[in-house]
């Protein structure tokens, strides 16, 4: 019994020394300029603006500190990442910045535990990317006459990528024409995206089961360093 207590004491001492080790950097959210004000955060970080891969991590505040709840490999736009405030539509770049997450959607049913509002994709579901349309950068079902099919995305045509997804609030609240539309966090396709962030299907399910709108989650997209560093946002 005495030996067991001694071992436990040593383990606690070691744990305390590891937690207090000098030189350990603070968790990424604590190094960011803003986190959106909630107690959940998703970070999508690439090595540089020319990268098409990186890491998505989802964080939550526990006892006053940010703790990683999970992570997964991520894919970005085929032409890398670019500053969201000056992005140009159709460039296959992922916009950087800190964004809200308005709602979730999918061609498949929401995974168990999903608390986000979840819209099922039907054959008539489109994301309007037509700059001339009143519905620019909005889900439309059915597609209105002023939203041309060739300038929009038929969501049901992407059953793999949009099996489950979260809308990223880039250029969403007050859309600027020509900046870009239809940016999501979704399931991986065959390769890089057209500007979205994607993760493996299992990771997308875990994120949806974890994310709680009541905790104000946001997504921060950026690079490790430079003018598009995720810590800037």
12: pLDDT strictly greater than 70: no
State pLDDT tens for residues 78-98: 999 999 999 999 999 999 999
Tell me the whole-structure pTM to 2 decimals: 0.90
14: pLDDT strictly greater than 90: no
Tokens describing residue 24: 């350990």
C-alpha to C-alpha distance for 126 and 190, rounded to whole angstroms: 21
202: pLDDT strictly greater than 90: yes
In terms of Cα–Cα distance, which of 98, 77, 85, 75 is closest to 28? Answer: 98
State pLDDT tens for residues 165-180: 999 999 999 999 999 9
């Amino acid at each position: 019994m005495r030996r067991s207590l001694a071992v436990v004491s040593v383990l606690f001492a070691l744990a305390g020394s590891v937690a207090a080790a000098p030189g350990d950097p603070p968790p990424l959210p604590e190094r960011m300029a803003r986190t959106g004000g909630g107690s959940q955060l998703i970070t999508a970080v690439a090595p540089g603006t020319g990268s098409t891969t990186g890491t998505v991590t989802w964080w939550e505040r526990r006892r006053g500190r940010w703790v990683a709840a999970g992570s997964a490999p991520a894919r970005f736009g085929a032409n890398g990442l670019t500053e969201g405030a000056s992005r140009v539509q159709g460039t296959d770049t992922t916009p950087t910045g800190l964004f809200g997450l308005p709602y979730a959607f999918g061609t498949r049913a929401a995974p168990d535990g999903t608390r986000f509002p979840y819209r099922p994709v039907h054959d008539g579901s489109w994301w309007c990317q037509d700059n001339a349309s009143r519905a620019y950068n909005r889900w439309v079902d059915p597609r209105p006459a002023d939203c041309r099919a060739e300038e929009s995305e038929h969501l049901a045509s992407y059953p793999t990528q949009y099996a489950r997804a979260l809308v990223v609030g880039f250029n969403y609240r007050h859309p600027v024409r020509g900046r870009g539309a239809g940016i999501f966090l979704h399931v991986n396709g065959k390769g890089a995206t057209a500007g979205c962030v994607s993760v493996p299907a299992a990771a997308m399910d875990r994120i949806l089961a974890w994310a709680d709108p009541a905790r104000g989650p946001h997504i921060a997209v950026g690079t490790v360093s430079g003018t598009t560093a995720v810590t800037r946002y």
